[in-house]
A and B are shown apart, each in its own frame.
Chain A
């Protein structure tokens, strides 16, 4: 490296004309001040781990969605005027369809590359939201949401929610039978809101459902409002990633004050640039191979028609599950109906999402930890957090099962009623079971780590001792491994302390203090984490000769 630098340096010193690239850069620097920016950021270090690239998948699929979406807007007509279909798809000939549907058919069959672009757009959307969820889970399970990154966690969460709704509005645009059923579903949920429901519905649809407005309205929301907010949040998210610097897993030489990895330029620029094309490539292959939302097979929307197997795209599947498994309760009072069967799911829907979003704030309140954290936790070393995360995922998955109960029924030869009852019970029970099981597994893994540190790794070599006993030889771990396995911190549970002083005067302890102490005990108390091996223990054990 250094030899190359000296080779290029004399060019600038000598009276010879500087190369074109340098002159362009100089011109730009004089006006934009890019040297300073580049100097500060080009050598920015990023750590190497595959899970740190999940966010990149989100970013790149978002870019792909924008690029393909722009192409689609060139041909899409967001109008609900009725026209007769006369395109190239024979089985739809002569059908009365909306212009939105007609133009989507036109994109699919008569625009060059239209179907591929449409399928890339839709597949990328599904993958985008899936990648956001996985990225969020990576951040959750490694504790990367801790100070100073709580705000960025919230930004990311908002991106997920906005991504879901952008996806939903986009899914509704072609005005096909499937999406129309989805819009009807949403309208039903709005109608269930007491007092204002009917007004909200009339306002959103410009009159009775379906009216002639919602495609045009969803269109502006889908291509302008929500993506605009998302783009802003995305930039803020990335700026904060830069500002906070990336987190890293514990390891030798890695501290809370440094970042060990490769520089942005040239290594990460090349890697990230290449990764963008790989993401684009994979999505393009998926879109070229598999059909998505085949509106020609589904048909145009008419409010008097419906097909079985009508589900939303997967990221809305849990809301579908909430509705499908909810008993059809309703209360009739003074001529008004309160449709609890729809309204309760509508209330639980945001709660499912918010419950994971607020977790970082709950944890920081329980620990009372105000320090910055740049070293990630291994999930097993935070058993209660990991158990909460798995419980939430289980909850989410149970609702997804409920959303697809008909597909489960036909493909596993089950009764749809049995599945619905399973989901109703599992909604309450499964997260608890998942919590308990995950916590036990985490503690087991902590014990194994402790065992490995103190006794070494099982070598697979069986030794026979002179008196006939067989033992397995354990190899001591390297210093690096010992450090990595013992680098995590362990909190002490918060103690309330004596509630009466030496004179027997009672000290008032607020209810929230008591709750906090209780939670803290549950997080860090005895049997809720395995005390990590100390240097003394290690010395004591390794000083003995040959025992295991």
Chain B
């Protein structure tokens, strides 16, 4: 200590102290900087939740309650997860237009950014299915044959053999799945919207969901090829019967009238 004390008035002492101070500051900065970054992310998340909460208060709270606890007009949203919000709001089903047997699909009124904020808020209320990433629902490389079998086993009862939709009780219905985006199909299976049962990963793993999406794209989308010609709605014998009566028998009766009208006339000579 004496040595150090003796040199404290050395002309270079100030330089050494300055260097030490700089090193300490830099070291401290380096040590604390990541913590600062983490705090910034948390702020962004809480910002999204805050924004989502504002959107929620305006657009959703009248039915689902001010804190998402549900009410007489809408179910509790605690634990439904961001996937449910993304599905309901980006297919336009929510916010609902009017009460009825079932809330129909319509034009989405929130932007994707707003939907993400809403999702963040609802997700903050309780853990639930998370909005899937593209890797999860992309049907590329799916086993279409397996998907068809799974579809017939789990979905066709309500959605028809190729997902053309079907009737449920009291005006409810399973919608047509033609050209529904893979993300929405995935989310619907994950969350079970409205009358649909949910198929969580424990009962239907990700790969099987992808197979089903792949199957649907191959039989009920713009890309689907119909080797037999017009599918007549893919509804089966009812539309086929109607077609046979109107265009089959109708045309034949027309032909019969035409043939009968052209009768051989006795030639006068």
Contact = CB atoms under 8 A, between A and B. Distances in A.
Contacts of A404: 238
A308 B227 contact: no
Given A130-B245, A417-B170, A294 B145 contact: no
Contacts of A212: none
A415 B148 contact: no
A91 B145 contact: yes
Contacts of A53: 256, 259-260
A509 interface: no
A490 B260 CA distance: 30
Interface string A299-336: 10010111111111110010000000000000000000
B156 A291 contact: no
Given A50-B257, A290-B230, A406-B167, A299 B159 contact: no
A521 B147 CA distance: 67
A413 B102 CA distance: 11
Contact of A309 (B164, B168, B229): B164
Contacts of A294: 226-228, 231, 234
Contact of B227 (A109, A278, A299, A414): A109
A405 B170 CA distance: 12
Q: How large is the interface on A (under 10, 10 to 19, 20 to 34, 35 or more residues)?
A: 35 or more
A50 B264 contact: no
Contacts of B260: 48-50, 52-53
Contact of A297 (B144, B234, B253, B264): B234
A271 B263 CA distance: 9
Contacts of B240: 126, 290, 292-293, 313-314
B248 A405 contact: no
Nearest to A305: B152
B248 A282 contact: yes
A291 B231 contact: yes
Interface string A25-65: 00000000000000000000000111111101100000000
B112 interface: no
Contact of B145 (A93, A306, A310, A414): A93
B249 A127 contact: yes
B158 interface: yes
A376 interface: no
A305 B245 contact: no
Contact of B144 (A50, A91, A403, A405): A91
A359 interface: no
B239 interface: yes
A410 interface: yes
B259 A271 contact: yes
Interface string B64-93: 000000000000000000000000000000
B20 interface: no
Contacts of A299: 148-149, 152, 161
Given A91-B218, A177-B152, A406-B166, A119 B257 contact: no
Nearest to B146: A94
Contact of B244 (A92, A115, A123): A123
B18 interface: no
A83 interface: no
A293 B161 CA distance: 12
Nearest to B226: A291
B13 interface: no
A contact patch SS: helix
Contacts, number: 214
Contact of B229 (A48, A93, A290): A290
A200 interface: no
A166 interface: no
B39 interface: no
Given A91-B219, A93-B144, A308 B232 contact: no
A406 B264 CA distance: 50
A537 B53 CA distance: 90
A527 B169 CA distance: 47
Contacts of B168: 416
Q: How large is the interface on B (under 10, 10 to 19, 20 to 34, 35 or more residues)?
A: 35 or more
Nearest to A124: B248
A279 interface: yes
Contact of A50 (B174, B234, B261): B261
A468 B225 CA distance: 73
B171 interface: yes
Contacts of A169: none
A494 B183 CA distance: 76
B136 interface: no
Given A306-B157, A308-B160, A92 B248 contact: no
Contacts of B234: 294, 297
A123 B238 contact: no
Given A54-B256, A296-B227, A134 B249 contact: yes
B165 interface: yes
A354 interface: no
Contacts of A304: 153
A308 B156 CA distance: 6
A276 to B, nearest CB: 11
A282 B251 contact: yes
Interface string A77-89: 0000000010001
Nearest to B174: A308
Contacts of B157: 306-308
A297 B238 contact: no
B227 A127 contact: no
Given A262-B264, A317-B241, A291 B236 contact: no
A431 to B, nearest CB: 21
A407 B143 CA distance: 31
B111 to A, nearest CB: 30
Nearest to B219: A297
A381 B149 CA distance: 59
Contacts of A307: 152, 156-157, 160-161
Contact of B255 (A279, A290, A310): A279
Contact of B248 (A275, A286, A410): A286
Interface string A171-184: 00000011000000
9 contacts: A57-B256, A119-B228, A130-B244, A177-B152, A278-B252, A290-B230, A294-B227, A299-B149, A302-B153
Interface of A: 48-54, 56-57, 85, 89-95, 108-109, 115, 119, 123, 126-127, 130-131, 134, 177-178, 262, 267, 271, 274-275, 278-279, 282-283, 286, 288-294, 296-299, 302, 304-314, 317, 403-407, 409-410, 413-418
Given A109-B227, A127-B249, A405-B167, 9 more contacts: A130-B244, A262-B264, A286-B244, A290-B229, A291-B226, A297-B162, A308-B158, A314-B244, A409-B167
List the 8 closest pairs (A to B, CB-CB), nearest first.
Answer: A314-B241, A291-B228, A308-B166, A126-B244, A307-B156, A409-B167, A415-B171, A50-B260
Interface of B: 101, 143-149, 152-153, 156-162, 164-171, 173-174, 215, 218-219, 226-232, 234-245, 247-249, 251-253, 255-257, 259-261, 263-264
